[in-house]
Chains A and B, each alone.
Chain A
Amino acid sequence: AQTVTQSQPEMSVQEAETVTLSCTYDTSESDYYLFWYKQPPSRQMILVIRQEAYKQQNATENRFSVNFQKAAKSFSLKISDSQLGDAAMYFCAYRSLKYSGGGADGLTFGKGTHLIIQP
């Protein structure tokens, strides 16, 4: 079974600065997806960015980028020019590409990192 670990329960950053959230995962598979989701106080789960394991190029979405290190099984999220609206819980998630029945297509989540933006 896959596991996802987010070792930072809480991070704080000054507005307009850059912050990096860590995520590591454990899997024996070679093909999979990785995601970062944002959960603001409203508790909606909002997709921030995704990465296909077969792609070497790191995904980027505006101020959000990832550092995907497949060999190290590391998938960190970098937020540049932090804004007050970025304050939220951030969850790293893994999804297998190999359907093997049951919930194999579901997401495995880390426990989250609470990001605080200091004005």
Chain B
Amino acid sequence: SQTIHQWPATLVQPVGSPLSLECTVEGTSNPNLYWYRQAAGRGLQLLFYSVGIGQISSEVPQNLSASRPQDRQFILSSKKLLLSDSGFYLCASGRDNQPQHFGDGTRLSIL
């Protein structure tokens, strides 16, 4: 079965600072990868989606970007964080008709 690693688990950053969250997947190859954000008391919102290396689709306009430099690596970035970027970020992996599996998430607080 696949395992999804996310780090860091918790991050506190000042407004205007850069961001890099990393997600790696084990136990599968050529997965579809996803970044979701969960604001406090809300459901998950899909941010980015990738079907392969270098292929990124964005679901919502925002201050964030994503990259997939390797098959099982998915990175969420920002050049300048905003207060509204605070939240809980989850990476997920899925394939074809299989359910998506999630990492343990990163709690991001912007000061």
Contacts and interface: CB of A to CB of B under 8 A. Distances in A.
B99 interface: yes
A28 to B, nearest CB: 19
A89 to B, nearest CB: 9
Of the four ranges (under 10, 10 to 19, 20 to 34, 35 or more), the interface on chain A belongs to 20 to 34
B102 interface: yes
B104 A105 contact: no
A111 B59 contact: no
Interface in B77-111: 88, 90, 92, 94, 97, 99-102, 104-105, 107
Contacts of B59: 102-103, 106
Nearest to A52: B97
B49 to A, nearest CB: 4
B57 A102 contact: yes
Of the four ranges (under 10, 10 to 19, 20 to 34, 35 or more), the interface on chain B belongs to 20 to 34
A108 B34 CA distance: 12
B50 to A, nearest CB: 10
A43 interface: yes
B97 A112 contact: no
A69 B94 CA distance: 26
A106 B43 contact: no
A43 B104 contact: yes
Most B-side CB within 10 Å, residue of A101, A105, A110: A105
Interface of B: 32, 34, 36, 42-46, 48-49, 51, 57-59, 88, 90, 92, 94, 97, 99-102, 104-105, 107
Interface of A: 4, 33, 35, 42-45, 47, 50, 91, 93, 95, 97, 101-103, 105-112
14 contacts: A43-B105, A44-B102, A93-B44, A102-B57, A102-B59, A103-B34, A105-B32, A105-B49, A106-B59, A107-B34, A107-B44, A107-B46, A108-B46, A112-B42
